[in-house]
Structure 1
Amino acid sequence: MQNIAQPQKVAYQIITHFDQSYRWFTRITRGAQARFEQGKWKETLSASRERITIYEKSLADAVADLYQEVPVHQLSDDFWQQMKKYYARLLEDHPQFELAETFYNSVIGRLFKHRHIDNQIMFVLPSRCYLPGQDRLKVIYSFDTRTSVREMYEAIFRVYRFNIPFDNYQRDLLNLERALRKRLNRAQLASVTAVELLKSVFYRGKSAYLIGRICMPDETLPFVVSLQTSAKQALVVDALLTDRKDLSVIFGFARSYFMADTQYPAEVAAFLQELLPNKKHFELYMALGHYKHGKTVFYRNFLQHLEHSDDMFEAAPGVRGLVMMVFHLPSYGVVFKIIKDEFAESKKITRQHVKDCYRLVKMTDRVGRMADTHEYMNFRFPLNRIAPELLAELQETCGSSVEITDQELIIRHLYIERKMTPLNLYLEQQTDPQKIRHALYELGSCIKQIALANIFPGDMLHKNFGITRHGRVIFYDYDEICLMSERNFRALPKSDDPYFMDTLSVAPNDVFPEQFEHFIVGKKALKEQLKVLHPELMTPAFWHEVQRITAQGEIPDFTPYNPAMRFPRDEAI
């Protein structure tokens, strides 16, 4: 007979591992302020990578301990159901209850290899309904707006303190006051009831953000103060952002996760959702660095969407990939990517190489130019929603990753990525010359910024890039990426012999930038525009300079908002 206390003991064991994991996560996150103040940008990148690895390490420890405690595969369903009930009780007053649910799900998923997605033993549904606002006072500061605009800013900087001086405090106050008065007219300023700011400072790259909102009777506006450091390692206010579009870009899916210390992530995510109603809740958790819980929230959202839709899954629009099979649900905003069983002859890579490339992007500063991807095992789709043509193509190209039951299509391994319009389709359909020019400018900028982040994109055909609703070009095909140091950028030798290319000695890692113009975009008119907008891309000198920068560990500043929003720094007060 099973010891009735045993499920309770194991539940406690799992929550203990979660708590240890979150303390580790928090310790790294809290270090962001010192790294920002001291300009330790290399350490910032290292800390970001380390924090991503915490979850898997903590999960492995929890599973190993559980195997030591109980004979996992000899236990009855009743044991697991009882354990979930005990675990749910431990979550009743837990400040990170939702993250702890996901950790529990991961443990169960690892034990059963994700074969049993069952709400009786897992938290497929949340353990309780969280009402946004119940912990609001624990995560925000509210500032009195009955004073002058300048006095309000002074009050803000009395609360948010840094261990470095301002480069020019009076100049920054004046810049902030001017920016707010430019955004709001007198009547709007007079109607402001409060300025609310999240207590957590949001750190990423070389910037820190105070994020909140301006509350007025008839509307609410984002209120974001962007901070950076000067060459003298002094604090500088770089911009004031009050447009939702700017805030949306800052929280974009192609950017690295923030370092934002909070013990109440559910309340922070709820507050951000009010600021960014067009963002999915799972995207906000991911932006906070809780990407595993973001996957849980995504799955719940996905199930809910299936219940309220009836369209069919089908192959995604665009040119078929040589490595990945990509499909989507037209009414839903993501694509599903599966590694094919066999690659085209031109692809001299392995399945493991593809996984390693996607992992490399996960661990890299994506600088707003590389889409975040999320890996799932044994993901389930209702079979009656799969278009017959898609099912046949999946069986033909990805048979080893596909399992079909009476009611489900199970994909053993897949990636999920935010849906975008493929750039090649956009350029084919677009007739506005200005929008075409902008897209080509964005394409070249995307390639350059990825390279400065120490990633050579490899296959730079424009079909491997997408364009967002904000007109931003994002790279999303990673099977040929590598570090900048792994390629040898060469100039084409000059010769009058029309056949000299046939006899040119080329090593596997040799790249000839002068040839880029022939395959990045197809049509001659587009090639010419790209060459005018980004001529340096087609020169070995540009790539050699990027290699020099990345080899020395220089970290460029990738400001996520329009440079025109930045305040002047040379005005004397």
Structure 2
Amino acid sequence: MRHSKAIDYTVQTITLGFENYIDEFNKLTQLAAVYFAQRNWKLMHENHRNRLRLYKDFVQQCRNALEEQLQTKVSDLEFWHKSKQQYSDQISKRKDKELAETFFNSVIRKTKPNLAIDEKLMFVHEGYDSCDIHSTENLYHTYPSAWGLQKIIKRLLADFDFGVKYMNQEEDIIFLENTIKKVILSRYKVDDSTVTQVLKKVFYRNKAAYLIGRTYVGEKWMPFIIPILNGPKGIFIDTMIFDPKVMAHMFSFSRSYFMVEAEIPSQMVSFLNAVISHKQIHELYNAIGFNKHGKTEFYRDFLNHLNQSKDQFVVAEGILGMVMTVFTLPSYNIVFKMIKDHFEPPKNMTRQEVREKYKLVSLHDRVGRMADTHEFEFFRLPLERIHPAMLQELKNTSNSLLLTTEKELIIKHLYTERKMIPLNLYLDECSHEDAKQAVEDYGNCIIQLAQANIFPGDMMIKNFGVTRQKRVIFYDYDEIEFLTDMNFRWKPKAETYEQIYASSPWYDIAKNDVFPEDFKSFMIGRADVKQHFLDYHKELFNPDYWVSIQSQIKAGELLHAFPYSKSIRFRPEESI
């Protein structure tokens, strides 16, 4: 194949691959509204998983086609440089061109083996804000203050047709009216400049739909989120949220991605960035389902931070892991995790098995209790920024993953994850009241994971972290299993002298047997809150409790993980 013809083929193959990916992505996203209306939570969950798998499949299809046609040109860097230039022209008019750029990056990384990130061959510094500015006419509904509060609320609800009758719309209107009067009108004066904007596209996740908007009042924007649930009696407004911390948590790295249509992703992200100012651009792309581009935006942010900082990478604080080596840049809110070359007993698994556990988490509903990760290959770091002690630790534990050049350390494979305070360190230093709250939330975390069919395996507190909002998150995935695969048992009672004084268990223990009574011995070490934890979460030590959760899951009952306190619900007793 001639050089120019090969470039044409490459550009068309990747362009078509991206277009097919986006078309399928949008089809699956649109199904969320259908399943919400039908209350078909099982298909909602499966649809979410199917969408997560799409990207890798379409990248692989492109890779296979290019490898077959290009043959030796796959390794020709100048060929890829010219292909990038032509591809850039090809996608320049797309409203989602930043996603198309990331797709190109993914294809070349998979097609050209062992390729580190290269600015000449890939789209590295472009950024979402390089996209063209488009009209916002199709982005949000606008409600002027002159209409009056009640008319605005009624029009807002009329603008969103879920194809399902309301349980009690008049009561919903009263709830919204009273909340707005209490939170906004009691503090700010409405004038001619006051206006409300609500995104036209609905955000779906789990068993809920969310309307996201903002009101300009008091010379500033007041963002809000309105969760809508679909119960046996019809749809209803569950609450109205103005608290920026709660809204930030709803877009948390520990939450599953929303299903929301985004014709112009950069435009939607810009709106969300103005509404949920605590979140960075890459987090917002993740939140609306474009996690591969979120990874690109994260890397751009990382490069910018490297250029603006001078501190060195060091081993992360906390107890050294048996499976992962973890390091961080103190000035950056991320940890980097590498799978060790060898695992000390009792760990008995392979590197590939660990990777499969992380993949399982990436496809599962994280219910606000498991940290999202990004996976990188051939990740480059400047050698001068790496502390000697950390470099030695990497060589001691993960040497097979390291390549070095004169100026760089190249890591063949790693995960990035949000930095948190390890729970064991947090409990060593926090106040008594904060410790009580932390151990309560630690137990809540384990229970909510169980209800989502996840058994953490190693539940020692060093495997959990505490976020800035003091929420406990699980982040060590090498031993997780599906809860339904476990066998929860009561410990047999010793009846003979030999059984009582046996140096090891005298009864048979199968691979997936779990004895919850034993949890008491290792779960909490801090003396002044241990008994509080044991009393507060006594169900954790009862095998029958775990079996009851298994039964619910096997019966098809799916948890709705409320991303806000149930105390703010308009109708706390209403089920879905």
1:404-443 → structure 2 map (5 Å cutoff): 404-431=404-431, 433-443=432-442
- CA deviation after TM superposition for structure 1 residue 75, in Å: 6.5
Quick check: 350-359 or 441-450, which moved more? 350-359
Equivalent position SS for 1:554 = coil
- Output aligned runs, 1:242-253, within 5 Å: 242-253=242-253
CA contact (8 A) 2:74 2:111 kept: no
Indicate if the aligned counterparts of 1:221 and 1:243 stay in contact, CA closer than 8 A: no
Deviations 1:292-313 (A, max 9, x none): 1111111111111000000000
Return the alpha-carbon distance in structure 1 between the equivalents of residues 19 and 297 of structure 2. 20
Counterpart for residue 124 of structure 1: 124
Q: Which residue number corresponds to residue 300 of structure 2?
A: 300
What corresponds to 2:564 in structure 1?
561
Distance 1:569 1:322 in 2: 43
**Distance change in 2, residues 1:209/1:74 (3 Å):** closer
Residues 31-67 of structure 1 deviation map (CA, whole Å, 9 limit, x = unaligned)? 0001011111111111111001100110011111222
Partner of 1:68: 68
Which amino acid counterpart does residue 172 of structure 2 have in structure 1?
A: D
Gaps of 5+ in 2: none
Choose 270-279 or 257-266, whichever is displaced more.
270-279
- Write the deviation string for residues 116-135 of structure 1: whole angstroms up to 9, x where unpaired: 42222211121885368644
> Take 1:420 and 1:324, find their aligned partners in 2: how far apart are those partners?
16
Q: CA deviation at 1:114?
A: 4.4
Name the counterpart of 1:504: 507
CA spacing shift, 1:72–1:241, aligned 2, 3 Å? farther
| Partners of 2:177 and 2:115 in 1: CA distance | 57
CA distance in 2, matches of 1:185, 1:60: 54
Alpha-carbon deviation of 1:81? 2.1
Q: Give the 3-state SS of the residue equivalent to 1:171 in structure 2.
A: helix
Structure 2 match to 1:547: 550
Separation in 2 of the partners of 1:186 and 1:506? 63
Distance 2:214 2:430 in 1: 36
- State the match for 1:144 in structure 2: 144
Matched with 2:214 is 213
Aligned pairs for 1:283-322 (under 5 A) are 283-322=283-322
TM-score by length of 1: 0.96
> Are the structure 2 counterparts of residues 481 and 35 from structure 1 closer, same or farther at C-alpha, using a change threshold of 3 Å?
same
| Cα deviation, residue 395, structure 1 | 0.4
Shift of 1:527: 2.4
Moved more, 325-334 or 223-232: 223-232
The 5 Å alignment of 1:93-172 reads 93-126=93-126, 129-130=129-130, 134-172=134-172
> 2 CA distance for matches of 1:203 and 1:259?
5
CA shift for structure 1 position 92: 1.6
In structure 2, give the amino acid aligned to 1:334.
I
Distance 1:161 1:427, change over 3 A: same
8 A Cα contact 2:17 2:62, kept in partner:
yes
User: For residue 402 of structure 1, what is the aligned residue in structure 2?
Assistant: 402
After superposition, the Cα gap between the structure-2 partners of 1:451 and 1:127, relative to the gap in structure 1 and judged at 3 Å, is closer
Q: Are the counterparts in 2 of residues 518 and 527 from structure 1 also a CA contact under 8 Å?
A: no
Within 2, Cα distance between the matches of 1:476 and 1:189? 46
SS at match of 2:222: strand
Is 2:392 the counterpart of 1:392?
Answer: yes
* Pairwise CA distance, 1:147: 1.8
User: CA 1:132/1:169 → structure 2, altered by over 3 Å: closer, same or farther?
Assistant: farther
| Greater alpha carbon shift after TM alignment, 527-536 vs 216-225 | 216-225
185-194 vs 168-177, greater mean Cα deviation: 185-194
Q: TM-score, normalised by structure 2?
A: 0.95
Tell me how large the CA RMSD over aligned residues is: 1.8
CA 1:74–1:166 in structure 2 vs 1: closer, same or farther (change >3 Å)? closer
Contact 1:132 1:270 in 2 (8 A): no
Aligned equivalents of 1:151 and 1:130: distance in 2?
Answer: 39
Which amino acid is the alignment partner of residue 158 of structure 1? A
Matches of 1:391 and 1:51, distance apart in 2: 38
Q: C-alpha offsets along residues 332-374 of structure 1, whole Å, 9 cap, x if unaligned?
A: 0110000111111111222122111111111111100011111
Q: Identify the residue that residue 494 of structure 1 maps to in structure 2.
A: 493
Q: Secondary structure at the match of 2:138?
A: helix
1:459 maps onto 2:436 in alignment: no
Give the match's secondary structure for 1:443: helix
Q: Which residue of 2 aligns with 1:473?
A: 472
Relative distance call for 1:200 and 1:50 in structure 2 (3 A) is: same
Cα distance, 1:165 vs structure 2: 0.6
Q: Note the residue ranges of structure 1 that are not aligned, 5 or more in a row.
A: none
Amino acid at match of 1:467: V
Contact 1:95 1:264 in 2 (8 A): yes
1:73 and 1:219 map into 2 onto residues whose CA distance is 55
Distance 1:474 1:132, change over 3 A: farther
CA distance in 2: counterparts of 1:133 and 1:81, whole angstroms? 27
Corresponding residue of 1:536 = 539
Q: What letter corresponds to residue 544 of structure 1 in structure 2?
A: V
CA contact (8 A) 2:197 2:213 kept: yes
Alignment-derived partner of residue 227 in structure 1: 228
Which is worse superposed, 119-128 or 72-81? 72-81
Partner of 1:236: 236
Please, which of 524, 527, 530 is the counterpart of residue 527 of structure 1?
Answer: 530
- Give the % identical residues: 38
- How many residues are matched? 569
Number of the residue aligned with 1:200: 201
Secondary structure of the structure 2 residue equivalent to 1:190: coil
